[in-house]
Amino acid sequence: MQNLGNSTVPSLLSDASKRLEQALKHVTISEDAIARLQHPKTSLSVSIPVRMDDGRLKVFSGYRVRYDDTRGAGKGGVRYHPNVSLDEVQSLAFWMTFKCALLDLPFGGAKGGITVNPKELSKAELERLSRGYIDAIADAIGVDTDILAPDVYTNATIMGWMMDQYSTIQRQLCRGVVTGKPLSLGGSNGRDTATAMGAFIVIQTMLPKFQLNPQETTVAIQGFGNAGSALAGFLAEAGYKIVAVSDSKGGIYAPQGLDIASVREHKNQSREMKAVYCQGSVCSIVEHQVISNQELLALDVDVLIPAALENQITANNADDIKAKYIFEVANGPISSDADKILGKKGIYVFPDILVNAGGVTVSYFEWVQNRSGWYWTLEEVNQRLKAKMEAEAENTWTIAKDLIIDARTAAYVNALNRLGTALDAKGTRNYFVKTDK
């Protein structure tokens, strides 16, 4: 069976596509569908000129990729980070395609980003940059075309700016073009904690299958941003022992367990909430042992949760991993080469396209609410999210057990089956070419 990797795609996208090689052995999918999934539908690179507060004109690079929209409009976040590139955005859009299919959402996969260190910009500069990005990509997005959402270093405020700018361009209110907005601008209850809540539901669904109970389970979380910190809170409330957390500046470790509520309060107080982005770090809490992000990944814990950026666990450090179970809250935190090493070590990895899908699921709920004008309570949102995440977690587990494959491969098998069915519905070689067989 032909695979999705080829020598012409960028390195990150090529690595991402390697995840499908094993899944392709367990699905019946046409060559037409494989050919179409080898390439993004649209890849847009733009220049965004921004007048800085000191009068200088600075030009930023921005991207928006719609990988596939066979099952519905493109859907994916926008990240602000110094390392954002077209290669990275294509890879993330690729993953989003399979994530939306895995959760059986009526969306395709998309992603966007701007190459910028947002912590170096004022709030006014961030607003001009965000609105300039929408000016540049407005023709490529839309309520039924491509829908934006928050991602790394973007938040509800920025989403509100983007929705407002697109509405200004279109001369009409277009709430559904952006999700993750403030509630007052058409956002959904539960969207701010959706990624964390979805991950928590998956963890609560999967760990009992290994006879693990919260009180006896140690957890380390790399990444203490919106998703990581909220997930730490949910897990602590459920009784899990969180022994280590970290952010971009470093981490803290306490074998007896951390007081997560205090850690979150400290970071919230130190981040100077008047700014758009935090300035503090969890590692500034001195009463606990200070560790690096790499040291956190190598801790001897039951559960490791990478919730930062991609490629945190690679072939270079996979042998150091001691955790028994890994739940990927970040997108692509484990490289394909590292996957093989972890598999040989007997470590169970639950993939990002399942674990962190709570965000896109509640984004879907927000889009539905925007279109219907009927808004749900937090309890209703969480009930719907719980039903969706539990169902697809159980589906993934069943496929893994039936086919005797790992959870990542099982998730891709499920997603590929749904994508293949949709792609083949448009016609295949067998349909167009008559044979006597």
* Domain containing residue 346: CATH number: 3.40.50.720
| Mean pLDDT on 63-91 | 95
List, for residues 176-215, the tens digit of each pLDDT value.
Answer: 999 999 999 999 999 999 999 999 999 999 999 999 999 9
Would you call 77 helix, strand, or coil by DSSP?
A: strand
Task: Note the helical H segments in 79-225.
Answer: 86-102, 123-137, 156-170, 194-206
Confidence at residue 317, expressed as pLDDT on a 0 to 100 scale: 95
Both 223 and 262 in one domain: the answer is: yes
Q: Judge if 72 and 29 occupy the same domain.
A: no
Rg for the chain, CA atoms, rounded:
21
104-138 as b/e: b if 16+ CB within 10 A = ebebbbbbbbbbbebeebeeebbbbbbbbbbebbe
Q: What value does the mean pLDDT take over residues 116-138? A: 97
The pLDDT > 70 percentage for the chain reads: 89
| 9 and 49 part of one domain | no
Within-domain flag for 31: yes
Q: Is residue 361 part of a domain?
A: no
- Sign of the CA dihedral 295, 297, 300, 303? positive
Give the pLDDT mean for 318-346.
94
Q: Would you say residue 97 has pLDDT above 60? A: yes
* Same domain for 224 and 78: no
Clarify whether residues 73 and 21 are in a common domain: no
- Are the C-beta atoms of 252 and 286 separated by less than 8 Å? no
Which of 355, 382, 398 terminates a domain? The answer is 355
Whether 315 shows a pLDDT value over 60: the answer reads: yes
Same domain (yes/no): 150, 282:
no
Residue 3 confidence (pLDDT) above 60 = no
- How many distinct structural domains can be found in the chain? 3
In this model, does residue 246 exceed pLDDT 80? yes
The position carrying tokens 């997108």 is 331
Q: What is the pLDDT of residue 434?
A: 62
Same domain, 141 and 47: yes
* Three-state SS at 323: coil
- At 387, the pLDDT band (50, 70, 90 cuts) reads very high
Strand 289-291 versus strand 250-253 pairing type = antiparallel
22 CB-near residues (< 8 Å, 6+ apart): 405, 406, 409, 412
Q: What is the pLDDT of residues 133-145, one digit of tens each?
A: 999 999 999 999 9
* 66-79 pLDDT tens trace: 999 999 999 999 99
Residue 178 phi/psi, 5-degree rounding, is: -135, 135
Contact 137, 44 (CB under 8 A): yes
Q: Which of 55-69, 220-234, 248-262, 264-278 has the lowest mean pLDDT?
A: 264-278
For residue 269, what pLDDT is reported? 60
Whether the CB-CB separation of 209 and 393 falls below 8 Å is answered with no
Q: Residue 113 belongs to what domain range? A: 40-176
pLDDT computed for residue 79 by the predictor: 95
Please indicate, yes or no, whether residues 288 and 346 belong to a single structural domain of this protein: yes
Q: Which of 41, 75, 99, 111 is catalytic?
A: 111
Residue 386 lies in a domain: no
| pLDDT for residue 289 | 83
Q: Judge whether 123 counts as a catalytic residue.
A: no
* Rounded average pLDDT over 255-259: 88
11 and 77 belong to one structural domain: no
| pLDDT of the residue at 251 | 86
**Average pLDDT over all residues of the chain:** 89
Same domain, 81 and 218: no
pLDDT score of 253 more than 60: yes
Query: Both 65 and 81 in a single domain?
Result: yes
* Amino acid occupying residue 160: G
Q: Which pTM was predicted?
A: 0.88
